[in-house]
Chains A and B, each alone.
Chain A
Amino acid sequence: MPQKFTPQEQVGEKMEKQESGRKRQGDFLRLLRYSALRVIALFLAVVVGVYLMILIANMGGYVDEIRRAEIAFNVAQQVRGSPEFADLPEERRREIMDSMIETEERRLGLDQPFILRSVYYLRDALTLDLGRSENLTSDAGSRQVRHIILERLPPTLFLFLTAQIITFFAGLFIALTLSRQYGSKLDKIMVALAPTSAAPSWFYGIFLILIFAALLGVLPFGRMVAAPPPDDTLQYALSVIRHLILPVAAIVLGALFLSVYQWRTYFLIYSMEDYVEMAKAKGLSGRKIERRYILRPTLPPIITSFMLGIITVWMGQIVLETVFNWPGLGRLLFQAIGLYDTPVIIGIIVIFAYLLALTVFVLDFIYAMVDPRVKVGGEGGQST
């Protein structure tokens, strides 16, 4: 019987293909325009955010002080280092230094009104040109804030991405499984476990260390690689993986149950829609219904909920790195607090602004990809 319809079907398919080709191109342009606008909007947000932070930081003149200290340091270095000043008496040298400092301060605009200066600070902060740290040094020995921060960035991103990818896919899989067996014992257990996500990841980290490092002794207490690090690349990778297990497990534990609960609920809501009933009535297979009629429309709210959780996740990770001695930005922040290293703290604010903006952008982008309703300049980005 079906053969009878073949030619017609083929024609239909062809038309569909052409149409979908055109549609895809339109989609692509829409996505491109949307992303461009989002990048601009987010960059503006970063600029405003960092500017606000500079205003707050400089409320007691702190940034000015840092700048002055740096100028004085550089001038002293210069004078001490050059032979032409070596023979001069102490007093004369001091005079020269003072006048050099004054010139330098004028050159850098420290004598200008704060409004103007704040713009310079903004520029410097956005380019992470924050001068020298007060106490901290990078592992390579540099005291440039930029070097210190950039050195700590990869471990942080590595930990964050690994944990987020696992959380997202594991959460999606478990939520979908649970929504299939709504009301079962497993479902009830997961719902009951959802409130445990009130605790941040570092909290679970402490318990994981207690169980697996202190009591069982099977996994390391912290750090990213064994000390001393193995020379062999393979051994190195294995060591990193061994050290990665507990922190990643802590992050996943901290976020998984709540996500599973929320997403399972979304799946249930969407699987009660009329068109799902319709699809069932048409006799489509369970998998197909799930993929096309349930998963697809549920993805946007899932991404939104994921995005709303991101700030908390980042916040948890800052402390988690401290608990696990993970050599990332969070640990750096902890050290900087301990040493009152203001330039580094301000640098971390800026780098986190960039990181959050990037995370928001990536999620927005995925959102726009899965939700065709998102229009340029529209509100679709975050509604639901």
Chain B
Amino acid sequence: MTSSSGAARKNLSKIACNRLQKELVEWQVNPPTGFKHKVTDNLQRWVVEVTGASGTLYANETYQLQVDFPENYPMEAPQVIFLHPAPLHPHIYSNGHICLDILYDSWSPAMTVSSIGISILSMLSSSTTKQRPEDNDRYVKNCRNGRSPKETRWWFHDDKV
């Protein structure tokens, strides 16, 4: 599945580059627990491996997050999706899109890849059922043309999970 945003992506701005390099260094020195950054030479797309926390439904399961950075990162949020197969979770669609407010409306430039990762891991950890969102089929069908989750108008139903 290649769901990089449909539109041609512009190169990172100088500011975005500096900031990402800084994040990468920080990540290498002090990676968030449960995460592994798969090293590539592509600063604009990170693939991050996340392992479910022990004692949760996803314990010892490993998934891959793909993080794509826009030209104006960190003003704009990165696009974060799970690569196939996406974990079974009430807020994660089978195409890997994640319904999490901080990735869209509630993004703040003070957030980092680390903090996003921690939020996603905590979202996984607090889940009590392994199931797809109710509207999974409809949503995934709508996204067939490779639409980015950032173009979705998200409704953030609940904050329980």
Is chain B found bound to chain A in the same assembly? no
